[in-house]
Homo-oligomer: A and B are copies of this chain.
């Protein structure tokens, strides 16, 4: 029988401080700069101590990413202020999304970088990941109900998501060659997403009578 066991509080406390330190290190020295030994020196403990609380580095990063998702989710939810109609809410959400990503590029990278290890085996991470996605889905369901956009909410949410994510992803990767600040891209992107999904019955502007000149191949390979 165990004679001495760390209380859950102590464990959580240490894990939290470690995640905090790791997050700071990522922001300060980049993803590659997070070293177990550096981490230990920040926490004033020996390099192997974190192994008592995390089985390996993957688990550490899983915790860091989980925290990032939670903060991201909170930032999105904070954008939902009262008095906004469905369209304004969606717009505010999109801007909050972009603002968070630009303000915390490293956190965003941790969350959405291609090639991050999959959350398999980390249920908390998986849950946080899904959680960060629900504000948009909810806002989209509301928007569809209100009739400001038309279509399958799940599909629409993905399209919106991809739009804003693509923007910040390219920006953070330094790929944009746009001559003006990125804010002047966010506006057109959101406008595009709204106008492009207003749907046929929204206000009669784009009636079905016009089967759209949009290419509609499906059999083209």
Candidates B161, B178, B205; contact of A154 at CB < 8 Å: B178
A153 to chain B, nearest CB (A): 12
Decide if A162 touches B158 in the complex (CB within 8 Å): no
- Inside 8 A of A165's CB, which chain B residues have their CB? 166, 169-170
Tell me whether A170 and B178 are in contact in the complex, defined as CB-CB below 8 angstroms, given that A113-B114, A196-B191 are known contacts. Answer: no
| Number of chain copies forming the complex | 2
Taken together as a complex, chains A and B put the C-alpha atoms of A176 and B166 apart, in Å, by: 13
Most buried by B among A116, A169, A192, A220: A192
Residues of A within 8 A of B (CB): 30-31, 87-88, 91-92, 95, 105, 108-109, 112-116, 118, 129-130, 133, 148, 151, 154-156, 158-159, 161-167, 169-170, 172-179, 184-185, 187-197, 199, 202-206, 210, 212-215, 218, 220
- Inside 8 A of A148's CB, which chain B residues have their CB? 213
